[in-house]
Structure 1
Amino acid sequence: MPEFADLRKILMHDHPFGFLLEVVLRTVIMFLIILIALRASGRRGIKQLSIFELVLIIGLGSAAGDPMFYDDVGILPAFVVFLVVIALYITITRLSDRFVKIEKLLEGEPLYVIRNGKLSMDAFRESGLSQDEFFAELRLRNVEHLGQVRTVLIETSGEFSVLFYADEDVRYGLPIFPSELQKKLSSKTHENCEYIACAKCGGVRNRGDFDELPTCPECDVCEWIEASNAKRVG
């Protein structure tokens, strides 16, 4: 019989059928490794997909790809991988829906990066975002300075939820456009400002309270920018 018609070779190549149990174990281990790696990487790059959907795509993509390219990878072990990955996905999703603690452990919790108009440096660091990335996301939502924003919540999916102050409640805040961020104040130029904002954490101070530019008590940085209180447009 021609080699292309050898059904056992097509299904299992040179592996015994007992190898399927090893495939199950390998799949569980790799699923957990992918899940842990994505969980540890933070929220960057996971937008639009839940962490489990991303794991599912990676796991199934790998399982589907190898049998297509390598003749020593049988179709049947790849099919078992599909079954195990989907079963793990369904099981963990149902457990997450049923037990809040499991959901928080695996997917984390939303991060309040800005609460009541104040930037939380701990939450900001936990998000894994750089300042440029964070400000770029806010600019896409028509934010000009941090004083316009009451709450910024980074969802477990990586999406931003932004709540704004009403126009009459807008505060002084750190401008977030690149051209403004480059205008660092000096000991001479700060005298013409009413309020100044820390270039790192966005903390706002009344310029009249200081003779010289102070070190920010929130982040120990001495880089300041003139704060803005412009109303939000759009």
Structure 2
Amino acid sequence: MDWANIFILDTTWAFAAEIAVRVTVMFIMIILFLRFTGKRGVRQLSIFELTIILSLGSIAGDPMFTKDLPLIQALLIMSIVICLYRLCTWLMMKYQPFEDLLEGTSLYIVEDGLLVLEKIEGGEMSHDEFFTEMRMQGVEHLGQVRVGLLETTGDFSLLLYPHDQVRYGLPLFPKQYKLVDQINADEYYACMYCGYVDKPLKVDQPCGRCQNKCIGWAKAINNKIIR
């Protein structure tokens, strides 16, 4: 194995110095570009902004080490992208339909302690994703949640019920979110598909809300919010 070809090949000291200059220039351009996009973190970026950030890899990466690619071309491309970003941002501020097109719209995942069926069936968010977001915010069951909103940035916003209005709801933690094999009279159970709370007469009884889409019943709980 020729280690010289693997690590050096035809690299000269002059080209190594050129790479150092190229990397320094593109590094500064990336910092300036990100400065123009604001101070939000990666998780807070919209799809539109994330697309622009990811494009930096191609725009800035190749000129760092490609000898036949002059820096002026990369600088021109990045300048155009910055102008387009500013233009799109201005248009989004002026025209709501344009913003909805690029950024998307917020999705209601929970309303009045129940999962929004249209969002579940449309595949916007799986049960596991939703439950994880809820648990990370200290929510134990759906009966604590008045509104759950999936923002365009991927964050989850919650409006919780006051302590005296917490109702029975579908548990979100694995040990409690499990199919019961026996129904006890006068106890509340929650549909494991949509969160509907009822007093079913048998374990295979269809849900009164999502009907035959019900995947079973879990014992509902009404614990208060502890924060």
TM-score bucket of the superposed structures, by smaller chain: 0.7 to 0.9
In the TM superposition, what is the alpha-carbon distance from 1:194 to its structure 2 partner?
0.8
> Unaligned 5+ residue runs, structure 2?
1-13, 16-41
TM-score (norm 1): 0.72
For the pair 1:85 / 2:76, whether they are aligned, the reply is: no
Paired position in structure 1 for 2:206: 215
For the pair 1:112 / 2:95, whether they are aligned, the reply is: no
TM-score (norm 2): 0.75
Letter in 2 for 1:225: A
Instruction: Say if 1:125 and 1:47 are closer, same or farther in 2 by CA, change over 3 A.
Output: farther
Instruction: Say if 1:167 and 1:211 are closer, same or farther in 2 by CA, change over 3 A.
Output: same
Q: How many residues align?
A: 187
Letter in 2 for 1:150: R
- Give me the identity figure in percent: 42
Q: Secondary structure at the match of 1:225?
A: strand
Letter in 1 for 2:144: Q
Q: 2:45 aligns with which of 34, 40, 49?
A: 49
- Aligned equivalents of 2:126, 2:150: Cα separation in 1: 14
In the TM superposition, what is the alpha-carbon distance from 1:99 to its structure 2 partner?
0.5
In the TM superposition, what is the alpha-carbon distance from 1:201 to its structure 2 partner?
1.6
Q: Secondary structure at the match of 2:56?
A: helix
Q: 2:179 aligns with which of 181, 184, 190?
A: 184
Letter in 2 for 1:140: M
- Aligned equivalents of 2:191, 2:206: Cα separation in 1: 9
CA RMSD across the alignment? 2.3
Q: 1:144-223 residue pairs with structure 2 within 5 A?
A: 144-181=140-177, 183-186=178-181, 189-191=182-184, 194-207=187-200, 210-216=201-207, 217-218=209-210, 220-223=213-216
State the 4+ residue runs in structure 1 displaced beyond 3 angstroms.
124-128
For the pair 1:61 / 2:50, whether they are aligned, the reply is: no
